[in-house]
Structure 1
Amino acid sequence: MSKNDIKMQLQPTIDLADYIAGYTIQSVLLGPDQRIFVLLIDQIPDRIRGMFVQASLDKPRTYKILIIEDGQIQEVILANQKFHYHTVQPLEDHLLLVGARCHYYGPDQYDLNARVCDMDGHILHDFLLGDGIEYVQVTREGTIWTGYFDEGVFGNYGWNPPVGEAGLLAWDAQGNRLYTNTQADIMDCYALNVINDQEVWFYYYTDFMLGHITGGTTDPQIEWVNPQISGSSGFCTDGYHFLFQGGYNNSNQLFFKKRDQPGRLTGKKTVQLQGANQQPLDLTYSDFRRDQILIYSEGMLYTTAIQDILHVL
């Protein structure tokens, strides 16, 4: 172990074993506050021809949403659902489910891949957020930020032009567009971190730059930072220190860097997070928001933050 390597053992935040029986994890997500959101489905649908993710499901499925706050878990059940949802976020006093894929069939004929329901699972309304969604993060005030992968930027599933061709968009709670990226040439939004309504970070292919939006959607200003890392799929930050999920072929690696020069991150320490069994945590199901990282592994949720890593350093 070199001086640039850090090992941290984490203790589970909460045990989900009793809540996930009969379901499969779709995603684990941090909300704009201190709540954690877990989206489960009773069965992951098969891919079309073994390759393409279903948008509309071939048979109705049941979703379960776990809302975790201060060690308490609230369950919301949505039965008999016919759309394939991948992520969930709080939206004002309700819940927002979003599917990554949606089809365009013709003028005014397309899938609505965003669904709003109340905390009892009653459906309120649906709207369109576009195909090829990689990330969805919602602010406390109800602004929805969406980042798109390459098929959402260049078009597939019948979309021409695609909704997400700018790579990064923001919407209000009714699905009206508030912000469209015009400054970054985003071919794939690799990572997104919505701090609050006034501050958003994003990282993208092909430039591998960090964009730092301040001023929200009403007066957006962008600062550019070179992280000197390629292919990262997530990061958290306190504004000065950054923890990146590893780049290509290193998805289970974490790298710690800091901004001690304008527009540039320097230093690079490898961070290995270990679970209760002192084995490295698998980052397949993880999320980055503000200065925190959330990880699901073997029925347990783990959380840590930039400040915790600084204590180890």
Structure 2
Amino acid sequence: MSDSPAGTRLVPYARLPRGHHDRTVLDSTVDADGRAHWLLGEARPRGAEREPYDAVVVTVGDGRPYETHLSALTARFPHLAALPDGGFLVADSRSREGDEQVRVFDALGRPSWTFRVGDAIEHLLTDAAGDLWVGYFDEGVYGDDPLSAPGLRHWSGTGESVWAYQPAGGADWISDCYALNVSGHTAWACTYTGFPLLEIGAGHAIRVRKNPVQGVKGLAVHGDRAVLFGGYGEDHDRLVDCRLTDTAVRPVTEGRLLGPGGGRLGRRRLVCRGPRLYVQERPGTEWTVLDIG
């Protein structure tokens, strides 16, 4: 983490090897151990019919980069997640009842099983045990899919429902899961409409902290410190450094999150893991990081 008078600069973290830049980045993520993964294909699968296609996952951060080839994918809006045994899963953000949109692959890229986690996936993160934490956007919460209605759910790696959010501690129902952070056995979320900071700990006990920062899209947490990122309009790259009490989020300072070169951020992909906020701007070939740990 390096600071400048104009704001806080991200630090380069992981790059997709140049030999793969001719392929389309379908999705990318950073796993619980800090490895970066890119799901690459020939073109984005956006047709109405889900024609199967092949893809390759390129992994950086565990020795030399390596590839895992996947086949017969059908996700039009794919979310990639890495499993602790070296395998992967690919989920389609949109799905209908009876459509098993999650496909699991072993470490050799061989398909293992499929299951369904609901429509309108906004965030999908695996934890160190290989379980899935899924946050949903409003079209799923207010649609006709009961799996998405809670707004935030915890699934096993084989598709069993482990936990679903219900209002607690004065927090309302979730209308949209704006931000999700998964680290160890804890998940953190900022949710619309009121943007409380939800901490889901051991046994899925929920601690709710009132939060005055609206429009939060990403967050990093370390001890009693939280850094909240994002907002509406001109606040899209806002960075708010906060302290946590038992019941509230207390903003301390506010600035901007900048690219490694000091420029303003454009459209980006976020992954939040404990004290780290990973940011990937277009064209999606590099991950940068803000580490408050």
TM-score category, normalised to shorter length: 0.7 to 0.9
Residue 279 of structure 1 aligns to a residue whose secondary structure is: coil
SS of the residue 1:88 aligns to: strand
The question of 1:98 aligning with 2:103 is answered no
Instruction: Give the TM-score of the pair, scaled to structure 1.
Output: 0.81
- Pick closer, same or farther for the CA change 1:263–1:27 going to 2, 3 Å: farther
Q: Is residue 2:276 matched to residue 1:292?
A: yes
Q: Is the 8 Å Cα contact of residues 178 and 216 (structure 2) preserved in structure 1?
A: yes
> How far did 1:13 drift?
2.7
Provide the rounded CA distance (Å) in 2 between the counterparts of 1:120 and 1:188. Answer: 36
Answer with 184-193 or 264-273: which moved more: 264-273
Q: CA deviation at 1:71?
A: 5.7
Whether 1:67 aligns to 2:55 is no
The corresponding residue for 1:246 is 230
* Cα shift at 1:139: 1.2
Matched residue, 2:220: 236
Contact 1:148 1:189 in 2 (8 A): yes
Structure 1 residues 61-70 or 205-214, which shifts more? 61-70
The letter of the residue matching 2:163 is Y
Residue 274 in 1 paired to residue 266 in 2? no
Cα gap change, 1:293 to 1:86, in 2 (>3 Å): same
TM-score, scaled to structure 2:
0.86
- The CA deviation at 1:20 is 3.3
Counterpart position of 1:214: 201
TM-superposed deviation, 1:39: 2.2
Aligned-partner SS, 1:83: coil
Cα separation, 2, equivalents of 1:97 and 1:228: 35
Give, in whole Å, the separation in 1 of the partners of 2:248 and 2:21. Answer: 45
Q: Structure 1 residues 245, 20: closer, same or farther in 2, change over 3 A? A: farther
Cα 1:19–1:236 change in 2 (3 A) is: farther
The residue type equivalent to 2:165 in the other structure is: N
- 1:42-191 aligned at under 5 Å gives the runs 42-46=42-46, 57=50, 59-70=51-62, 72-93=64-85, 94-104=87-97, 110-155=98-143, 160-183=144-167, 184-191=172-179
Identity over the aligned pairs, expressed in percent?
Answer: 24
- Could you tell me how far 1:62 is from its partner in structure 2? 2.7
CA distance in 2 between partners of 1:147 and 1:96 (Å): 16
Q: Which runs of 5+ in 2 are unaligned?
A: none
**1:34 and 2:34 equivalent?**
yes
Kept after mapping to 2: 8 A contact 1:241/1:257: yes
Instruction: Render the CA deviation track for 1:171-199: whole Å, top value 9, x for unaligned.
Output: 112101110111240011111111222x2
Count residues in correspondence: 283
1:72 is paired with a residue whose SS is: coil
Decide whether the 8 Å contact of 1:251 with 1:283 is kept in 2.
no
Give the superposition deviation at 1:291: 1.0
Q: Describe the shift of the 1:11–1:295 C-alpha distance in structure 2 as closer, same or farther (beyond 3 A).
A: same
Q: CA shift at 1:304, angstroms?
A: 2.8
* CA spacing shift, 1:301–1:240, aligned 2, 3 Å: same
